[in-house]
């Protein structure tokens, strides 16, 4: 287990040993004392244009920062042609529909970092977390409440990030409504998701990039720590 000390809190974080053969990992940090000043990260539109131009008409399935996530999902029994890793879903929406979802200042900044770094990134309201946080195999019949969706019972093949009371995330594609980011919250936990075949340093950089963009956009304070959490 690792300890993240941020925003006046100490969070214990771990990856279950039962996942060691699958190799998922997390890079975790935080942004504190948000004032929601409503700025955009510098160069917001140019970053979107750069990502769009760089990827062009390439086959996202074969990209070195997408293919490993698809392979991982196939391995745990989830079809990535039906349920896509979160960063691939964002990129497809951007490339093929010319849309970038605008939710709120913080979520938009996190999504921008995700498409730029090409790493799945989740954001969570720290005030609602009940540590320890654990990346683990789901239990059959557990209930998950996704953002923008209906309650669903999990099958048991999913990998989830949970705290002591609830599921926060289905790895690496869907966050929970229970800890979603709404305007006015003060502290945000930033979690970047990694799988075998993706360099750890890329996942850490993605977490740091999201932290920077969120802090600038919502006038918050970057936590100095980044914890790399592995099994």
Supply the pTM of this predicted model. Answer: 0.96
How many independent structural domains does the chain possess?
A: 1
What pLDDT, on a 0 to 100 scale, did the predictor assign at position 226? Answer: 97
Q: What is the pLDDT of residues 33-80, one digit of tens each?
A: 999 998 888 889 999 999 999 997 678 999 999 999 999 999 999 999
DSSP state of 146: B
Q: Does residue 196 contact residue 72 with C-beta atoms inside 8 Å?
A: yes
Sheet with 159-162, edge to edge strand ranges: 2-6, 9-15, 133-137, 159-162, 167-170, 174-175
211 vs 157: CA distance, rounded Å: 31
15 vs 52: CA distance, rounded Å: 34
Ramachandran category for residue 219: left, alpha or beta (phi over 0 → left; psi -120 to 50 → alpha): left
H/E stretch holding 210: helix 200-218
Mean pLDDT of 115-135: 97
Domain hosting 118: range is 2-229
Closest alpha carbon to 130 in 179, 176, 89, 173:
179
What pLDDT, on a 0 to 100 scale, did the predictor assign at position 169? Answer: 97
What CATH number is attached to the domain comprising 126?
Answer: 3.50.40.10
Q: Does residue 26 contact residue 13 with C-beta atoms inside 8 Å?
A: yes
| Residue 118 binned pLDDT confidence (cut-offs 50, 70, 90) | very high
Phi, psi for 159 (deg, rounded to 5): -110, 130
And the tokens for 201? 């340093």
**pLDDT at residue 149 above 90?**
no
What pLDDT, on a 0 to 100 scale, did the predictor assign at position 24? Answer: 98
What pLDDT, on a 0 to 100 scale, did the predictor assign at position 58? Answer: 75
Q: What is the pLDDT of residues 172-198, one digit of tens each?
A: 999 999 999 999 999 999 999 999 999
What pLDDT, on a 0 to 100 scale, did the predictor assign at position 26? Answer: 98
**pLDDT at residue 6 above 90?**
yes
């Amino acid at each position: 287990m690792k300890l993240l000390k941020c925003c006046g809190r100490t969070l214990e974080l771990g990856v279950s040993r039962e996942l060691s053969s699958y190799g998922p990992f997390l890079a975790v940090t935080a942004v504190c004392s948000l004032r929601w000043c409503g700025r955009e990260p510098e160069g917001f539109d140019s970053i979107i244009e750069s990502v769009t131009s760089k990827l062009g008409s390439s086959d996202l399935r074969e990209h070195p920062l997408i293919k490993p996530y698809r392979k991982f999902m196939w391995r745990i029994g989830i079809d990535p042609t039906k349920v896509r890793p979160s960063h691939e879903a964002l990129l497809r929406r951007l490339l093929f529909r010319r849309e970038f979802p605008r939710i709120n200042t913080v979520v938009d900044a996190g999504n921008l970092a995700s498409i730029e770094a090409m790493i799945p990134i989740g954001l969570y309201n720290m005030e609602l977390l009940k540590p320890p946080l654990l990346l683990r195999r789901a239990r059959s019949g557990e209930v998950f409440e996704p953002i923008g969706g209906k309650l669903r019972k999990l099958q048991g093949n999913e990998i989830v990030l949970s705290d002591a009371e609830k599921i926060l995330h289905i790895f690496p594609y869907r966050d929970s409504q229970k800890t979603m980011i709404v305007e006015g919250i003060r502290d945000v936990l930033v979690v970047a998701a990694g799988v075998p075949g993706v360099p750890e340093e890329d996942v850490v950089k993605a977490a740091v990039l999201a932290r920077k963009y969120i802090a600038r956009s919502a006038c918050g304070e970057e936590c100095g720590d980044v914890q790399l959490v592995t099994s």
